[in-house]
Amino acid sequence: MAVIISCLLLLLATVSQSKTVGYDAAADRNLLAADLYNAVGADHLNENVVISPATIQSSMALAFVGAKGQTASELQQGLRLGPGDADAGEPAQR
């Protein structure tokens, strides 16, 4: 029973913390997908095109983890990564 209560408290703390940040990750992921579809679709009018925005963002996020300075800032902005994503590579770099 104590484990269940601990898990619920942890979940509650996580949910309440995410609301205070004011960042909507899903909305940014959708905007990135729309940007990608518009960019690729503009070059391939009247053609069938299949891309995976989630895969593109995941693979480019790996480059973001290793990037520093202006490159990291540009990748964060271009991939529409949130403020918490800036520390994503920190544990891997230790």
Is 18 within the bounds of a domain?
no
The answer to whether residue 93 sits within a structural domain is: no
Question: Domain for residue 15, yes or no?
Answer: no
Q: Domain count for the chain, please give it.
A: 1
Separation of alpha carbons 9 and 13, rounded Å: 6
Instruction: Determine, yes or no, domain membership for 94.
Output: no
Contact 83, 25 (CB under 8 A): no
What are 5-51's pLDDT values in tens digits? 665 666 666 655 554 456 688 888 899 999 999 998 888 888 998 99
Q: The domain that contains 46 carries what CATH number? A: 1.10.287
70-84 pLDDT tens trace: 999 999 999 888 776
Range of the domain at 76: 31-82
| Residue 24 belongs to a domain | no
65 in a structural domain: yes
50 in any annotated domain: yes
